[in-house]
């Protein structure tokens, strides 16, 4: 084999290797089930009631999981895929409702109710703790006087009259 042919062959092999490397790097690896389910579990089946997409057994859900796989293979982000689902099937497909409009109530009301309950419980606890002690303490500190007790006032008045 002449040196020219050898050089030509070497160039051809090098070119093919480069082409293969470029093609391989441009392709996304096929996303695994775990990668697909990581997004699918953040979504609900648009047709079934209250069924997360990652565990939904219907043909429709399988199609949606395949769609997620395809979009991941195209290099789309999780946020992009979720947004695609919202635009196409409505916000009800999101496992976690978007933080906008009335949806804020879901995030604000439970913690607020919890804090309010905690406050009321604390006040009730303080009242329960104080109630049995205060009357005794107050009775012990103050001598029995007529002030404010019409019955004792009347008794004292009668005593004074008899003296």
Partner 1 sequence: MTPASDNPSAPVRRSIPIWIQILIWLGLIGLLAILLLGILRSENPMLRVGSKVQDFPLSLYSGYEYQGAGQVHLADLRGKVVLVNFWASWCQPCETEAADLETVWRAYQPGGKVVFLGVDYVDTPPEARVYLQKYAVSYPTGPDLGTNISKIFNRNLGVPETYVIDQQGVLRSIQIGPFQSAADIQAVVDPLLAGN
- Site residues (vs partner 1, CB under 8 A): 46-47, 58-60, 63-64, 66-67, 70, 86-92, 102, 105, 109, 112, 116, 119-120, 123, 127, 130-131, 134-135, 138-139, 142, 147-151
Task: Pick left, alpha or beta for residue 88 (phi over 0 → left; psi -120 to 50 → alpha; otherwise beta).
Answer: alpha
By three-state DSSP, how is residue 44 classified?
A: strand
Q: Among residues 67 and 78, whose Cβ is nearest to partner 1?
A: 67
CB of 87 to partner 1, least distance (A): 6
Cα separation, 81 vs 67, whole angstroms: 9
Q: Among residues 107 and 119, whose Cβ is nearest to partner 1?
A: 119
Q: Among residues 16 and 146, whose Cβ is nearest to partner 1?
A: 146
By three-state DSSP, how is residue 106 classified?
A: helix
Cβ atoms of 27 and 15 closer than 8 Å:
no
| Residue linked to tokens 């195209």 | 74
What is the DSSP code (8-state) at residue 92? G
CB of 5 to partner 1, least distance (A): 48
CB of 163 to partner 1, least distance (A): 26
Q: Among residues 1 and 128, whose Cβ is nearest to partner 1?
A: 128
| Residue linked to tokens 């997409």 | 53
CB of 162 to partner 1, least distance (A): 24
Cα separation, 71 vs 86, whole angstroms: 15
């Amino acid at each position: 084999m002449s040196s020219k042919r050898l050089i030509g062959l070497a160039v051809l092999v090098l070119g093919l290797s480069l082409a293969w490397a470029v093609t391989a790097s441009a392709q996304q690896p096929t996303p695994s089930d775990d990668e697909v389910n990581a997004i699918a579990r953040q979504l609900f089946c648009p047709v079934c009631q209250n069924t997360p997409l990652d565990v939904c057994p219907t043909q429709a859900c399988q199609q949606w999981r395949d769609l997620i796989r395809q979009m991941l293979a195209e290099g789309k982000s999780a946020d992009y895929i979720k947004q695609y689902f919202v635009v196409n099937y409505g916000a009800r497909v999101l496992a976690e409702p978007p933080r906008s409009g009335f949806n804020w109530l879901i995030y604000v009301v439970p913690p607020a109710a919890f804090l309010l309950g905690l406050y009321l419980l604390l006040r009730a606890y303080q009242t329960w703790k104080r109630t049995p002690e205060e009357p005794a303490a107050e009775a012990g500190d103050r001598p029995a006087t007529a002030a404010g007790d019409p019955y004792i006032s009347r008794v004292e008045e009668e005593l004074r009259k008899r003296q």
